[in-house]
Chains A and B, each alone.
Chain A
Amino acid sequence: MVAASGLHDRAMRGVVGTDRMGRGGAMTHGTIRLENAAATMGGQPVWQHVSGSFSPGSMTAIAGANGTGKSTLLRVIMGELPLALGTITRGGLGPRDFGYLPQARIIDRNFPISVTDMVLGGAWRQTGAFGGADRTVRLRAATALRRVNLEGQAERMISALSAGQFQRLLFARLLMTDAQVIVLDEPFTALDAPTTQDLLALVCEWHAQGRTIIAVLHDIHQIRTCFPDIVLLHAGQATWGRTPDILTPVTLQRAYGGARDPWPETGMQA
């Protein structure tokens, strides 16, 4: 794990860099900036005229109804999907600086690998032939499993884990990547309250270490209490800013529909 102070130092240093798409220019190291961006899927526009930035060490939720392009925005941020229009700069961040937690439902949980092997997958760049991991990497894997309360499960097959345990495992794999920017796609969906609390505490810990957190979330109450910044997607547009300013009854009604604020300050999950 990179020390928080080191990350802050790196984050605060302004550098001249070239982003992953090869564009150069002066930029703040670690700032991901979209300018007048538009994305398409299968030739159809998903969102457009999107401008905003994720500063180093920020903690931003991406919210919006189903089909508004939240996962598309994650793909654009990580450089997996090129923009149809506009520009994105990543402040010198490369693929190794990003850690990603996919939606659990798109993972093949019947694949015959153990919990340890799945966690070591997060360090695939450091492992050798036949996935051999040295003592340091194995120690890191054991620490990661302990951190998410999966000690004692290391030799179980991933198919034998419950939904909550599996999500903890994905967080352990994310710990192995030791990334500067943590991108989470629906990290708490279908989890019970204790698991959600544990994993949310881990996310807050990463934030406290100075890492940038970007998460697609559906729980408006969770966003209000834990995520200072938000990108709210609706009708092909993005409203980007401080959470208390953006999440008003009016914007929520517009984004999710309904006759009144469906998520009052003490509200429930979307």
Chain B
Amino acid sequence: MSILSTLWDPFASFGFMRRALVASVTLGMGAGPVGVMLQLRRMSLIGDAMSHAILPGAAIGFLLAGGLSLTAMGLGGIVAGLGVALLAGLVSRRTQLAEDASFASFYLTSLALGVLIVSARGSNIDLLHVLFGTILGIDAPALYLMGGITTLTIALLSIIWRPLVMECVDPGFMRMTGGQGGLYHMAFLFLVVINLVAGFEALGTLMSVGMMMVPAATARLWTRRLLPMMALSALTGMVAGLIGLLVSYHFRLAAGPSIILTCSVLYVLSLVTSPTGLRAARS
């Protein structure tokens, strides 16, 4: 088998592989830049928490639609994710608890509630779909949703770029000069939630955050400039999608975990070879 056919055949022969490729490339493009901002804001674990927080909303959508309906579950996920983000923000402002502590409490409650709802009405297979996704089962409406979310993400990031960056570097300056930093913070959390929902169908609630965080960590090892960092993060996610799908096809492995593990391999390689990785730590 030639190298070309190894790379080409899976996608030429099977529609589900082509759709999975488009899905992972689209997800990487949107989630990569969001992941970079999430890490620079030191909110990596909050991203993880948000991915769990969307579960009960998705589960309620699943119940109302009577099965795995992307629209119902996606909308439910967005509502639940934003609800948890708002509640956590409110609690951290009104009490002594830091935002991450509030998030931890709400997302664990949310996760338990979600699993309870799905397991009460669905089968174990449904629960597996919700938790780990079915990237090889992506259909056209799901691709439209992902494409829409990625487009919205890039458009919104471009509009709020400068105030969002200022809000990250110096929140006090934005707050004091009437910048309504909270508004940009919420707009950013909205982007986190919708990107997690976009990844939900493909990678499940537990792994969709992987497409956001691991490429971002990889990109941070290669450049210290923000825009190239975001572009590299997106590119890493897209390439990992391609390689992951090929590995999954040729070695008969689960597609979602193969993509995330490819992201991890790229991260480890970068850790070893990049100028700011382990080499820099040694010297």
Which chain A residues in 154-172 approach chain B with CB under 8 Å?
157-159
State whether the Cβ of A225 lies closer than 8 Å to any Cβ in chain B.
Answer: no
A-B contact count (CB 8 A): 82
Q: Are A100 and B173 touching (Cβ within 8 A)? A: yes
Report A179 CB to chain B, min CB distance, Å: 8
Q: Which of A75, A112, A131 contacts B40 (CB 8 A)?
A: A112
Q: Are B179 and A124 touching (Cβ within 8 A)? A: yes
Q: Are A102 and B173 touching (Cβ within 8 A)? A: yes
Q: Which of B161, B170, B173, B174 contacts A130 (CB 8 A)?
A: B161
- Interface residues as binary, B167-183 with A (CB distance below 8 Å gives 1, 0 otherwise): 01110111111110000
Q: Are A106 and B169 touching (Cβ within 8 A)? A: no
Which chain B residues in 75-100 approach chain A with CB under 8 Å?
96
Report A38 CB to chain B, min CB distance, Å: 20
Which residue in chain B gives the minimum CB-CB distance to A155? B225
Which residue in chain B gives the minimum CB-CB distance to A95? B178
Which residue in chain B gives the minimum CB-CB distance to A107? B170
Q: Are A106 and B224 touching (Cβ within 8 A)? A: no
Residues of B within 8 A of A121 (CB): 162, 165-166, 169-170, 173
A158 to B170, CA, bound (A): 12
Which chain B residues in 142-188 approach chain A with CB under 8 Å?
158-159, 161-163, 165-166, 168-170, 172-179
A98 to B224, CA, bound (A): 32
Residues of B within 8 A of A177 (CB): 177
By DSSP majority rule, is chain B's interface helix, strand, loop, or mixed? helix
Q: Are A124 and B163 touching (Cβ within 8 A)? A: yes
Residues of B within 8 A of A157 (CB): 224-225
Residues of B within 8 A of A9 (CB): none
Which residue in chain A gives the minimum CB-CB distance to B171? A106
A239 to B158, CA, bound (A): 48
State whether the Cβ of A14 lies closer than 8 Å to any Cβ in chain B.
Answer: no
Residues of B within 8 A of A111 (CB): 40, 165, 168-169
Which residue in chain A gives the minimum CB-CB distance to B36? A112
Which residue in chain B gives the minimum CB-CB distance to A101? B173
Q: Which of A102, A129, A130 contacts B176 (CB 8 A)?
A: A102
Report B19 CB to chain A, min CB distance, Å: 31
Q: Which of B172, B223, B227 contacts A102 (CB 8 A)?
A: B172
Residues of A within 8 A of B169 (CB): 107-108, 111, 113, 118, 121, 158
Q: Which of B163, B177, B224 contacts A100 (CB 8 A)?
A: B177
A140 to B47, CA, bound (A): 38
A265 to B238, CA, bound (A): 67
Q: Are B226 and A80 touching (Cβ within 8 A)? A: no
Q: Are A117 and B165 touching (Cβ within 8 A)? A: yes
Which residue in chain B gives the minimum CB-CB distance to A104? B170
Report B52 CB to chain A, min CB distance, Å: 27
Report A231 CB to chain B, min CB distance, Å: 18
Residues of A within 8 A of B229 (CB): 112
Besides A102-B172, A129-B159, 17 more A-B contacts (Cβ < 8 Å) are A78-B176, A94-B178, A95-B179, A98-B176, A100-B173, A100-B177, A107-B170, A107-B172, A111-B40, A112-B224, A117-B165, A118-B169, A121-B166, A127-B162, A129-B158, A129-B161, A159-B224
Binding site for B on A (CB under 8 A): 42, 74-75, 78-80, 94-96, 98-100, 102-103, 106-108, 111-114, 117-118, 120-121, 124, 127, 129-131, 157-159, 173, 177, 183
**Which are the 8 A-B pairs with shortest beta-carbon distances?**
A95-B178, A131-B162, A102-B172, A100-B176, A129-B158, A121-B166, A124-B162, A111-B169
Q: What are 12 A-B pairs at a CB distance below 8 A?
A: A96-B177, A99-B177, A100-B173, A100-B176, A108-B168, A111-B40, A112-B225, A113-B169, A121-B162, A124-B163, A159-B224, A183-B176
